[in-house]
Structure 1
């Protein structure tokens, strides 16, 4: 054996590589550009949350917590889910706090899925959902969904379901498309859950980012849905703490217990001082905070979408979240550097010093997104204005 040779890897690690979403950050830094690619949400953290974090550190709230999270935080999450989301969770035993909503997604996926199972994933999808599902050994069945104006197609999902299908993943509001599932669409999905004995995992991390009067509906709030639903959300996006890695899941107690034990095995617990800090989101911030957040993001959405339209992109304005998945068919016909998504990403980086994410990153067949780029507008307004000015200077006629 060659002592210099690397060890063999487990099959699950062989194909792992840095995601396009994260790799763009490195490339933007190389040109001292502005990153509209990764959804880092680099807005300031609300002062009450920072103050609670300082208090927790001063009080040495630093030992392991219960693997499902500290009791006060789980009770606060329960109250919020009952009142705001109308989810009929009866007890804190139905709540699991984890290492970001992605970490809780890992716990849910590994609790439910294994080799031989199948899971439905809608396209365009969030890449971490796809990659985590693949690690479970389950087979992914892809169902086209589309963008904000598209509607859930019951027949398309039924065509993908087999006797081995066990779960379906729903992201609403959706990354990258900005689609928000309607109450009617979710009601149709509930029927399918019962017809085919499925469990739904809903990622609702962008639940507060809504535009033009769009309503966010939690699947678990619908009649006969709670017992078949794992609801995921968290603090990263609404409270600008993406690096704190705090998320939560709400599910019937037998499922939540196993998710908590999986969370314990994988992570032990979420960072305890930050769990105490997160209580401020429920105790010190009110509806005015959310209203202001929505108004601020609406202003950013308008600036981003109008800029992209002005430079020649086809822009489906998102109904939720803080991304735009914009097309550039017209630009590819009229400008050099827009042959496909990889070329367009390079062109924006080199000519405007703006980082984006290739559309192909969100599809099973990357060619399906070859004429799309994803833009994130979760930036401080001066930075976003500068980014839009750079785009206009580089590409506006």
Structure 2
């Protein structure tokens, strides 16, 4: 009797069952990663992923090895070791003229990607909108969508990828919280000019928006182009969140050492979410990077830019010889190239199909341009990375020239 009474009161709760989240089916593997896997499968030369496999500066590598030997292998403070935070602050003041408090305004992050994720979690709510510029870096879009934040693309005008401020104003709604600027940019290599950044700053102040700036390629600048951080403009220090890192500069993409510079009023929340996601950036690598920031100055950065300018010219010439029309970048280390002149040479109607056709014919991996645009755009473009060892880049150029 008692047992039957208990059983009668049992309520069987049924959930949704073993299914993916609502978000997961809408997310797809990065085309960059997909092409890297395909390149490895066929033993190709990978110009798809920005792995930056040039040599690590000796001082950086030796300091990291020394840190491991010296026992710096446990958690650091959530905002990173004091030595690196001070080095970042000093470099920022020396090279950009911006005074930064290393105790309250610098966070050492798990790469610039980790920095961006923590920043977005701290500042945005589901349904908020963030403006970014097309062609855009796909991970920016994917990270925002993963947090139910809406990325709103504002088209740049080819071939110079110029900025139309009227388009920016037209894209702003009551839900807009921020403008995201990647300068120099991936994939176009665009370096935003002072005039463009001042125009964006005026809009940010007018509509009370944050400006998030990804400056990971700040030292890869060519010709007469100049890098300028929006945070240095009048009235922008409080509302600008600077994200950068050392993966590209020191050729340590696998180390995951980035950073955030932000006003102290935002940094507490940003640091909390970075701690929640990553605990801290890898400890011994922080010491290696700190040594590099301390000891490698303007001469190193100028040499880095000059070296990659030579690599840029090498690949631009090869792409032209192969029948493509490259957009010559002012910064970063990527080239977007039109395949319009290769009809009948590369098979496929989409950029993804053309990228795979190029890999099959030459053994050179590139990324579909459509990965950096809204659906239906960028289908005649491929992106190539030239941050490679000279012998690998030369081999890729030789193979590309064999396409014709």
TM-score using structure 2 length? 0.93
> Which of 47, 50, 65 is the equivalent residue of 1:39?
50
Pair 1:30–1:230, CA change in 2 (3 A)? same
1:353 aligns with 2:380: no
Question: In the alignment, is the contact (CA less than 8 A) between 2:122 and 2:269 conserved in 1?
Answer: yes
1:280 Cα offset (Å): 1.4
1:146 Cα offset (Å): 4.1
Q: Secondary structure at the match of 2:275?
A: helix
Q: Secondary structure at the match of 1:97?
A: strand
Per-residue CA deviations over 1:258-295 (Å, capped at 9, x if unaligned) read: 11111111111111111111111222222221121111
Larger gyration radius, structure 1 or structure 2? 2
1:290 aligns with 2:301: yes
Pair 1:147–1:294, CA change in 2 (3 A)? farther
Residue 7 of structure 2 corresponds to: none
1:139 Cα offset (Å): 1.8
Residue 378 of structure 1 corresponds to: 387
Work out the CA distance in 1 between the residues paired with 2:301 and 2:150: 38
1:183 aligns with 2:204: no
Q: Secondary structure at the match of 2:325?
A: coil
Work out the CA distance in 2 between the residues paired with 1:372 and 1:95: 38
Question: In the alignment, is the contact (CA less than 8 A) between 1:73 and 1:278 conserved in 2?
Answer: yes
Work out the CA distance in 2 between the residues paired with 1:6 and 1:211: 55
Work out the CA distance in 2 between the residues paired with 1:66 and 1:356: 39
Pair 1:336–1:59, CA change in 2 (3 A)? closer
Matched residue count: 389
Pair 1:318–1:6, CA change in 2 (3 A)? farther
Q: Secondary structure at the match of 2:131?
A: strand
Work out the CA distance in 2 between the residues paired with 1:147 and 1:34: 28
Work out the CA distance in 2 between the residues paired with 1:148 and 1:262: 39
Residue 342 of structure 1 corresponds to: 352
Q: Secondary structure at the match of 1:174?
A: coil
1:244 aligns with 2:276: no
Pair 1:216–1:148, CA change in 2 (3 A)? farther
Q: Secondary structure at the match of 2:211?
A: strand
Of 145-154 and 209-218, more deviation after overlay is shown by: 145-154
Within-5 A mapping of 1:165-314: 165-314=176-325
Superposition misfits of 4+ residues, deviation over 3 angstroms: none
1:173 Cα offset (Å): 0.2
Work out the CA distance in 1 between the residues paired with 2:158 and 2:248: 21
Structure 1 unmatched ranges of 5 or more: none
Work out the CA distance in 2 between the residues paired with 1:165 and 1:99: 27
- How large is the RMSD of aligned CA atoms in angstroms? 1.5
Question: In the alignment, is the contact (CA less than 8 A) between 1:147 and 1:177 conserved in 2?
Answer: no
Q: Secondary structure at the match of 1:84?
A: helix
Per-residue CA deviations over 1:325-352 (Å, capped at 9, x if unaligned) read: 11111222x5352533122111211110
